[in-house]
Protein backbone atom coordinates (compact mmCIF):
# COMPACT_ATOMS: atom_id res chain seq x y z
CA UNK A 1 0.00 0.00 0.00
CA UNK A 2 1.30 3.47 -0.65
CA UNK A 3 2.66 5.05 2.53
CA UNK A 4 -0.28 7.48 2.75
CA UNK A 5 -2.69 4.61 3.03
CA UNK A 6 -0.55 2.60 5.47
CA UNK A 7 -1.83 4.62 8.41
CA UNK A 8 -5.40 4.27 7.19
CA UNK A 9 -4.88 0.56 6.70
CA UNK A 10 -3.54 0.19 10.24
CA UNK A 11 -6.48 2.17 11.61
CA UNK A 12 -8.94 -0.07 9.76
CA UNK A 13 -7.14 -3.17 11.01
CA UNK A 14 -7.27 -1.92 14.58
CA UNK A 15 -10.95 -1.08 14.17
CA UNK A 16 -11.64 -4.60 12.90
CA UNK A 17 -9.64 -6.22 15.73
CA UNK A 18 -12.60 -6.37 18.15
CA UNK A 19 -14.51 -8.32 15.50
CA UNK A 20 -11.74 -10.90 15.43
CA UNK A 21 -11.63 -11.01 19.21
CA UNK A 22 -15.38 -11.66 19.29
CA UNK A 23 -14.99 -14.54 16.82
CA UNK A 24 -16.40 -17.68 18.39
CA UNK A 25 -13.85 -20.02 19.98
CA UNK A 26 -15.44 -22.89 18.08
CA UNK A 27 -13.91 -21.42 14.93
CA UNK A 28 -10.43 -20.99 16.41
CA UNK A 29 -9.38 -24.58 15.79
CA UNK A 30 -8.41 -25.36 12.21
CA UNK A 31 -11.21 -27.04 10.27
CA UNK A 32 -12.34 -27.46 6.68
CA UNK A 33 -12.68 -23.82 5.64
CA UNK A 34 -12.29 -24.77 2.00
CA UNK A 35 -15.65 -26.51 2.16
CA UNK A 36 -17.37 -23.23 2.98
CA UNK A 37 -18.16 -20.33 0.67
CA UNK A 38 -18.11 -17.92 3.61
CA UNK A 39 -16.68 -17.87 7.11
CA UNK A 40 -18.42 -15.69 9.66
CA UNK A 41 -16.22 -13.46 11.79
CA UNK A 42 -18.49 -11.43 14.04
CA UNK A 43 -20.61 -9.13 11.91
CA UNK A 44 -18.22 -9.40 8.97
CA UNK A 45 -17.90 -12.39 6.70
CA UNK A 46 -14.83 -13.74 5.03
CA UNK A 47 -15.96 -14.67 1.53
CA UNK A 48 -14.65 -15.74 -1.83
CA UNK A 49 -14.43 -13.45 -4.86
CA UNK A 50 -17.46 -14.63 -6.85
CA UNK A 51 -16.52 -18.24 -6.11
CA UNK A 52 -12.79 -17.73 -6.69
CA UNK A 53 -9.94 -17.04 -4.32
CA UNK A 54 -8.74 -13.45 -3.92
CA UNK A 55 -5.58 -12.44 -5.74
CA UNK A 56 -2.44 -11.85 -3.68
CA UNK A 57 0.75 -9.90 -4.16
CA UNK A 58 4.38 -10.77 -3.45
CA UNK A 59 4.59 -9.04 -0.03
CA UNK A 60 1.46 -10.83 1.20
CA UNK A 61 2.69 -14.21 -0.03
CA UNK A 62 6.08 -13.57 1.58
CA UNK A 63 4.64 -12.61 4.99
CA UNK A 64 2.14 -15.47 5.10
CA UNK A 65 4.82 -17.92 3.99
CA UNK A 66 7.10 -16.77 6.79
CA UNK A 67 4.31 -17.15 9.35
CA UNK A 68 3.55 -20.66 8.13
CA UNK A 69 7.23 -21.54 8.20
CA UNK A 70 7.52 -20.18 11.77
CA UNK A 71 4.50 -22.00 13.22
CA UNK A 72 4.66 -25.31 11.34
CA UNK A 73 7.54 -26.85 13.36
CA UNK A 74 5.81 -25.80 16.61
CA UNK A 75 2.56 -27.60 15.79
CA UNK A 76 3.31 -30.77 17.82
CA UNK A 77 4.22 -28.72 20.90
CA UNK A 78 1.14 -26.52 20.47
CA UNK A 79 -1.12 -29.52 19.87
CA UNK A 80 0.19 -31.27 23.00
CA UNK A 81 0.12 -28.03 25.03
CA UNK A 82 3.88 -28.18 25.65
CA UNK A 83 5.15 -24.97 24.08
CA UNK A 84 6.87 -22.75 26.66
CA UNK A 85 5.75 -19.22 27.47
CA UNK A 86 8.96 -18.01 25.77
CA UNK A 87 7.97 -19.99 22.67
CA UNK A 88 4.53 -18.36 22.64
CA UNK A 89 6.11 -14.91 23.14
CA UNK A 90 8.51 -15.48 20.24
CA UNK A 91 5.65 -16.62 18.01
CA UNK A 92 3.62 -13.53 18.97
CA UNK A 93 6.54 -11.31 17.98
CA UNK A 94 6.83 -13.09 14.62
CA UNK A 95 3.10 -12.64 13.98
CA UNK A 96 3.25 -8.95 14.89
CA UNK A 97 6.32 -8.41 12.69
CA UNK A 98 4.69 -10.04 9.66
CA UNK A 99 1.39 -8.21 10.17
CA UNK A 100 3.32 -4.94 10.24
CA UNK A 101 5.13 -5.95 7.05
CA UNK A 102 1.81 -6.78 5.34
CA UNK A 103 0.25 -3.49 6.34
CA UNK A 104 3.25 -1.52 5.11
CA UNK A 105 3.84 -3.40 1.85
CA UNK A 106 0.73 -5.13 0.48
CA UNK A 107 -0.99 -3.50 -2.49
CA UNK A 108 -4.18 -5.47 -2.97
CA UNK A 109 -7.29 -4.22 -4.71
CA UNK A 110 -9.84 -2.77 -2.31
CA UNK A 111 -12.16 -5.78 -1.93
CA UNK A 112 -9.30 -8.25 -1.47
CA UNK A 113 -7.72 -5.87 1.03
CA UNK A 114 -10.96 -5.72 3.02
CA UNK A 115 -11.03 -9.52 3.17
CA UNK A 116 -7.38 -9.61 4.21
CA UNK A 117 -8.19 -7.28 7.10
CA UNK A 118 -10.48 -9.94 8.57
CA UNK A 119 -7.56 -12.38 8.56
CA UNK A 120 -5.18 -9.76 9.95
CA UNK A 121 -7.64 -9.11 12.79
CA UNK A 122 -7.55 -12.81 13.67
CA UNK A 123 -3.74 -12.85 13.50
CA UNK A 124 -3.59 -9.84 15.82
CA UNK A 125 -6.09 -11.33 18.26
CA UNK A 126 -4.07 -14.55 18.21
CA UNK A 127 -0.85 -12.63 18.90
CA UNK A 128 -2.56 -10.87 21.80
CA UNK A 129 -3.46 -14.22 23.36
CA UNK A 130 0.01 -15.63 22.58
CA UNK A 131 1.44 -12.82 24.70
CA UNK A 132 -0.86 -13.74 27.57
CA UNK A 133 -2.82 -10.50 27.21
CA UNK A 134 -6.25 -11.98 26.45
CA UNK A 135 -7.95 -12.53 29.79
CA UNK A 136 -10.39 -15.10 28.41
CA UNK A 137 -7.89 -17.11 26.33
CA UNK A 138 -4.81 -19.16 27.10
CA UNK A 139 -1.63 -18.70 25.09
CA UNK A 140 -2.33 -21.98 23.31
CA UNK A 141 -5.69 -20.58 22.18
CA UNK A 142 -3.78 -17.73 20.55
CA UNK A 143 -1.70 -20.22 18.58
CA UNK A 144 -4.86 -22.00 17.50
CA UNK A 145 -6.32 -18.67 16.32
CA UNK A 146 -3.18 -17.96 14.30
CA UNK A 147 -3.39 -21.41 12.68
CA UNK A 148 -7.06 -20.77 11.92
CA UNK A 149 -6.23 -17.41 10.33
CA UNK A 150 -3.47 -18.97 8.22
CA UNK A 151 -5.82 -21.72 7.09
CA UNK A 152 -8.45 -19.12 6.19
CA UNK A 153 -5.78 -17.40 4.10
CA UNK A 154 -5.13 -20.73 2.34
CA UNK A 155 -8.84 -21.16 1.65
CA UNK A 156 -9.70 -17.62 0.54
CA UNK A 157 -6.54 -16.29 -1.12
CA UNK A 158 -4.80 -17.48 -4.28
CA UNK A 159 -1.31 -18.50 -3.17
CA UNK A 160 -0.17 -21.73 -4.81
CA UNK A 161 2.94 -21.86 -2.61
CA UNK A 162 0.94 -21.79 0.65
CA UNK A 163 -0.26 -25.09 2.07
CA UNK A 164 -2.90 -25.39 4.77
CA UNK A 165 -1.62 -26.35 8.21
CA UNK A 166 -2.85 -29.61 9.71
CA UNK A 167 -2.99 -30.60 13.35
For the chain, give every domain's residue range: 3-19+53-156
8 or 119: which leads in pLDDT: 119
pLDDT tens digits, one per residue of 74-122: 999 999 999 999 999 999 999 999 999 999 999 999 999 999 999 999 9
- Furthest CA-CA distance within the chain: 44
- In the predicted structure, residue 43 carries a pLDDT above the cut 90: no
- In the predicted structure, residue 20 carries a pLDDT above the cut 70: no
Query: Percentage of the chain surpassing pLDDT 70?
Result: 74
- The burial of 114, by beta-carbon neighbours within 10 Å (0-12 exposed, 13-18 middle, 19 or more buried), is given as middle
Residue 49's SS3 state is strand
Beta-carbon contacts of 109 under 8 Å, excluding residues fewer than 6 positions away, are 55
Amino acid sequence: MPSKTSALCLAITLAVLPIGVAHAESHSHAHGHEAHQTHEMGEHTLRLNNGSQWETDAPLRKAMGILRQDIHPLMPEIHNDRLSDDGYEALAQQVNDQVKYMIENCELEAEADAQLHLIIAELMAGANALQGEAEDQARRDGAIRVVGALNSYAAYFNDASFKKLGH
